[in-house]
Amino acid sequence: MSGQERSQSPEMSDSSVRVALINLLAAHARSNSRSSAIAQLFGSGRITFVGEDDDEEDADYMDNDSDENEDWRDDPSYMDDEPYGASRPQKLWTAPPTTPQDAGVELIKSGEFGRVSPKIRARRGHNNLAKVISNRLSRPHPALYKEDYASSIVPNSNGVVVANYDSNIYTAQFSKDSSFFYTCSQDFRLNLFDTTAAPIPHKPRKRTNSLGFDLKTTMKLNRSIQGEHGRWTITDANLSPNNERIVYSSITSTAYMCSTIDDDPTQIPIPFHDHPARNRLDDWHTGVGSLALYSCRFSADGNEIIAGGRGEIFVYDLLANKRSVKISAHEDDVNSCTWADTASGNVLVSASDDNTLKVWDRRSLGASQEPSGVLVGHTEGITYVSAKGDGRYVLSNGKDQAMRLWDLRKMRTKAEYDSYPRHRYSLPNFDYRYPNYPKPKFQAHPGDCSVMTYRGHSVLITLIRCHFSPAETTGGQYVYSGSADGRVHIWSLDGTVVDVLDRSKTLAMNFDPSGLEFPRNTSPSRSNCVRDVSWHSEQPVMISAAWESLRLGSTLARHEWKGLSKMANSLPDWNQKEEEEKAELERRSVRRSPRLNRRYRLMPGNYDDGDDDDEQGDDEDYVE
C-alpha cells in the first residue's frame, strides 16, 4: 500500500509524523531557505525524533565492519541525483553483481526463457543483424525468428516526455498486443492511448473539458474515462485481453468495470464485500470488516477478475455475476495479486506486507484454505508481483530494496514455512514512504527459496512495480523495474545490469522520441520517482510513468533503442571485433570439408558466419 493510502489511517506513528514534516518542509524549500536547511537536517539524520530507537546490536545482523561494498556505495557516479523528495542520495547497501551469476546463467541456458542460440551469440559478441538476417534468408528453407535479431535490442535512451498529467499516475501499461497504452491516476481518470497512430509532431495537444481534466500529450488519446470516485486514488487498473473493457480498484470494497469502446461507458460495480451495498456510499464499507482493494487483474479469457486487499484475495466470476473465491490469505495488506498462468487460471499468487508471497490452487482449496506453497526470501513487505505467464516463474519487488525471481516448483510448503523461527527479519520502525532505507539486519530470510535476486534500484515512496521483458521479442530474458531514484533499471536474468535509463535527463515534449538524443544537464533539484514502466511487445520501446517531485503531477516518457550510438562499444571497438570475427571464421572454415566449403561460398549473397544457428555444441562454448 502506498504512503498516501496509509495516510488515511487515523493512527500515526513517529515515522509517519517524520514523513509528514519532511514533505511539508520540502514543499516550502524553494521559497524558504530556512525550511530547506531544516529538511536537510531531517534527511541527514542530524535531527531525530524522541522514541526513535537506534538499531540494536544483534549477532544475526550483517557485518557492520564489512567493507565489501563500501567503495561502491559511496561512489556518487552511480546515483548522482537526489531521489524523489529526498535531501540526499539513498545508500544502496548491496551492489548489483558485475559478473553473471551461475543460477541466472542456468536459467538462460534452460530454454524456458526463449531460444538459446541467439543468447549465446550475443554473449560471444556476434550481434551483426545484417549477417543473421542475410544468412537465414539465403538458405533453401529460410526460418527467421523474431527473437534471433530482437533479443539483444534493449531500449537505451533516457526518453522524451510524451504526456504531462496534473495528478500522480498509479498504473501505466501497454495492452497485451501493445496496440493501446493505458493509465489510471489519482484524479480517478483512465486514459487510453492509441499506440498504432503516428505521434503528433513536436506540438503537444492539450485537452480540457468541463470537468477540469487537463492533459498535454503527443500521443493519440483514444478514450478518456472519468471513473467512479473512491478513497484517495485509483490503486490499480487492468485492460481486458480483447481491449474492450477495463477494470479498476480503489481503497474501497468495490471495483468498477467499464467499456473502452463506448463514448459514455456505464460504470459496472464489482462488489467484493460479504454484504451487498444498499447505496453507493456503502460501497466504501469503512466499518468493521471493511475492504480496501489495492490490486485487480482480468483472467486470460477475460471472464474472471482477481483482486486483493486487506489480507484477503478474491476471484469474481463475471459470467455468473458473483464472487466465487474468498481467501484469508495474509496477516497484512495484499499489495498485489495475479494469475500464475495464462492457460487454466487455477493458480493464484498473492504478495503481501507480511513479507511473503503465497501460491493458491483453486482446485485444492476445498474446505481448507491452505496455500499450496509459500515463497520466502524478502525481509520487508512486497510491493508488486508479476507473472511470466507459464505457471512457473513470478517476479516480485520488495521494500527490502530487492527484486526476486521465483520458480513455483521450488516454493516452501506451509509446514516448512511454519517451522521457521518467528524472528523479526525486517527493520524495526522502517517506513518505506520515507526516502531512506537503513542498513538491513539480513540480506534475505533464512528460508530464502528465490532463484535470483536483483539489486541496484530503490523501492521507496510508493509501491514500485516490476515486470518481465516481452516473450515475443526477448524470450523474457530481461527483468526491469521502476525506482524511487528516478531511473528505469534493466537487468539480464543472470543478475547483471543491462542498462539504467535516467528520467532526470528525459527531454522535453517538443523533441522527437525517435530522433537524436541530445545531452541534458541534470538539475540537482529535479527529481522523479518512477512508479511503473512497460515494454512494448513488438518494438524496443518502453514508456515509463514518473511522479514529479517539484509539482503535483506526473509525466510519461517514451524510451527507444538508439542503436550503436548509445551502446557501450566505440566504433574502433566494433572494427576490432569485426577483425577478430573474421579470423575466427577463417579458423573454423578449415574444419569444413572442401565440398561443403565450396558450396557455402558459392551461395549468392551469403556471409560466412560459421556459428550462425549452430545450436549443437553451443552449451560447450557458452561464455559465462
Q: What is the DSSP string of 319-343?
A: TTTEEEEEEE--SS-EEEEEESBSS
Helices and strands, counts by H and E, the chain: 12, 30
With H, G, I as helix, E, B as strand and everything else as coil, classify residue 26: helix
Question: Which residues neighbour 289 within 8 Å (Cβ) at sequence distance 6 or greater?
Answer: 273, 274
- Using the 8-state DSSP alphabet, how is residue 395 labeled? E
User: 102-119+154-207+216-515+526-560, superfamily in CATH?
Assistant: YVTN repeat-like/Quinoprotein amine dehydrogenase (2.130.10.10)
User: Which residues does residue 544 pair with via DSSP β-bridges, in sequence order?
Assistant: 533, 557
What are the strands of the beta sheet with 245-250, ordered from one edge? 234-239, 245-250, 254-259, 268-271
Chunked mean pLDDT (size 10), the chain, 624 residues: 47 45 44 38 36 34 38 35 45 88 94 78 58 61 69 93 95 97 97 92 51 79 94 96 97 96 93 68 50 95 96 97 95 97 91 97 85 97 97 97 98 95 88 92 95 97 97 94 97 96 94 87 70 96 90 90 64 63 68 56 46 43 42
Report the pLDDT value the prediction gives residue 132, as an integer from 0 to 100.
Answer: 61
Report the pLDDT value the prediction gives residue 134, as an integer from 0 to 100.
Answer: 64
CA atoms within 13 A on the CB side of 126: 24
Strands 528-535 and 541-548, sheet pairing: antiparallel
Report the pLDDT value the prediction gives residue 173, as an integer from 0 to 100.
Answer: 98
Q: Which helix (H) or strand (E) holds 593?
A: none
Query: How many beta carbons lie within 10 A of that of residue 26, not counting itself?
Result: 23
Report the candidate in 358, 443, 355, 439 with the shortest Cα–Cα distance to residue 399.
355
Query: How many beta carbons lie within 10 A of that of residue 359, not counting itself?
Result: 19
pLDDT in tens, 324-358: 999 999 999 999 999 999 888 899 999 999 999 99
Instruction: Map out the domains of the chain as residue ranges.
Output: 102-119+154-207+216-515+526-560
For residues 353 and 331, give the distance between their C-alpha atoms in angstroms, rounded to a whole number.
8
In angstroms, the Cα distances linking 138 to 115, 145, 584, 601 are 21, 14, 22, 12
